[in-house]
Structures are given as C-alpha cells and as structure tokens.
Amino acid sequence: MLLENKNAVIYGGGGDIGAGVARTYAREGARVFLAGRTRARLEAVARDIKDTGGNADVAVLDALDESAVEAHLDAVVAQAGSIDISFNLTTRGDRQGTPLVEMSPADFIGPITTGATTNFITARAAARHMIKRRSGVILAIDSGSAHGSPLMGATGPADALLDTFIRNLAVEIGPHGVRALGIWTSGVEDAVSPAKLIAVNPAFQVDEATFRGVLEHLSSVRALRRSPRVAQVAATAAFLASDHAAAITGTFVNVTSGTFPS
C-alpha cells in the first residue's frame, strides 16, 4: 500500500474531493484525521472509512483559527506519533461570473485572504512538526486559474498566491526533508453540483438542462474532452503523498484533463 503507517490530516475532509482523498488514503493504509467545520459530513466520511476496515478520526475546527489548528495537530502527534501528510482542501468563498472592473473590493479580497490564511496556518503548523522528524508532505489544491481565466473573480489571483506560497515553502523546508507541492484541478465532474455553481455565482440560474450544458462545455474545452473525476484527483494525491514521489516538490501537478498546458 502506498501510504501504509502514514498519518494524514485532511482539512475540508467532508467535501466531495476531500472525502474522496480521505477514502483513498485510508485504502492505501493511512490513518486519516478529518478536520472541518461540519461534523455530520466528517462523521459520514469517517463511517465509510471504518466500515471498509480503515482508520479515521474527526475534529471540528475552522482552519482560520490558528490556535485550534495548532492544538489539533499537537493532539494528533501525541495520539498517533507523527503527522506525515497535511492536505488543505478548505473552501475560500470565491465569487465568479462578475467582471473584475465591476467587482466589489470585499468579493475580490475575501477569497484571497481566506485561501492564503488557511493554507499558511495549516502548512506552518504541519511543517513545524515535520521538520523535527525530517519527513513529511504538505499538499495544496487550486484550479490553476493563475494561467488566466476570464470572469473568475479573485480565483486567479488567489490561485497564484497559493502556487507561489507552496513553491517558496518547498525551498525553505526542503533541506529539512519535508516536501510541499500541490494539484491543479477544476470542474471535477462528480464534485460539481447546481448548488456549488450558485454558491460561487448567486445570479446564475441553474436548471437540469443548464447544468448538463455546463458539464458538457467543461469537457469540450479540455484536451482529453472529458473532465477529471474525484477518484483521479484522489489517486494523484495518494501518489504525491507517497514515498514513490519522494523527488517531487515545489510544483503543482496538472490534473485538469488538459484544460491548459503546463
């Protein structure tokens, strides 16, 4: 198994991609610590993992809460002995569909601030533990919109900040044996829903026909003419967190089915 005897903390583990990553990590032998704000979702994922013979724990916390994140990791290390993988999949509250010249400062700055803060807090807390053991992997995820995407609001700038943060973090912690890297993905077919589209663009009217049209359009603009799926993102995340990827750090892996070259 790729992650046998590894301890993995997944922030946003109750979401569709977070849950998929958690289940895959558990199947690959990791003990999974699910963290997020909604207990019911976290516990549902933990039950699935335990029902298939895996090991999962749940903690309700806000990744913006520095003290809560650090206290949780201290408890994880005290209980499990180490933290080997930290993966932040928390949402940022992106607002899309409005031209930048018409956006409010709050809608533009909000996702950038939230994304930067949660990733900084969780990565810093994990790195401090990992450096002591000279081992560990810090993972991040964004849509790769720093390459240029119209009507995406602050998504592109927020992605660019995260991309740069991960690269700089990797350079600093690499000499201590710790890796930092990420995944680019977006429009993951089985993680998109009308509710999620409305959440980022409240003015968007979504009926079934419109929703299917959105999915078809997303597939049509990709080199592979199909959108990525949760299982593919999760499998990539498992490989990157494993010792098989021990020479990979300071970069993002393109899991967009070829939305853009990289």
Domain with residue 249: its CATH number is 3.40.50.720
Residue 222 lies in a domain: no
Residue 204 lies in a domain: no
- 3-class DSSP state of 38: coil
The H or E element that residue 186 is part of is: none
Residue 261 lies in a domain: no
Residue 22 lies in a domain: yes
Residues 250 and 174 sit within 8 Å (Cβ to Cβ): yes
Position 108 scores a pLDDT of 95
Position 147 scores a pLDDT of 87
Position 148 scores a pLDDT of 83
Number of domains in the chain: 1
Name the average pLDDT for the chain: 96
Residue 192 lies in a domain: no
Position 262 scores a pLDDT of 86
Q: Is 60 exposed, middle or buried (0-12, 13-18, 19+ CB in 10 A)?
A: middle
Identify the segments of the chain with pLDDT beneath 70.
none
| Positive/negative CA dihedral, 20, 26, 30, 32 | positive
Residue 207 lies in a domain: no
β partners of residue 8: 32, 85
- 3-class DSSP state of 105: helix
Position 156 scores a pLDDT of 94
Residue 197 lies in a domain: no
b (16+ CB within 10 A) / e for 191-228: bbeeeebeebbeeeebeeeeeeebeeebeeebeeeebb
Domain span at residue 42 reads 7-187+229-254
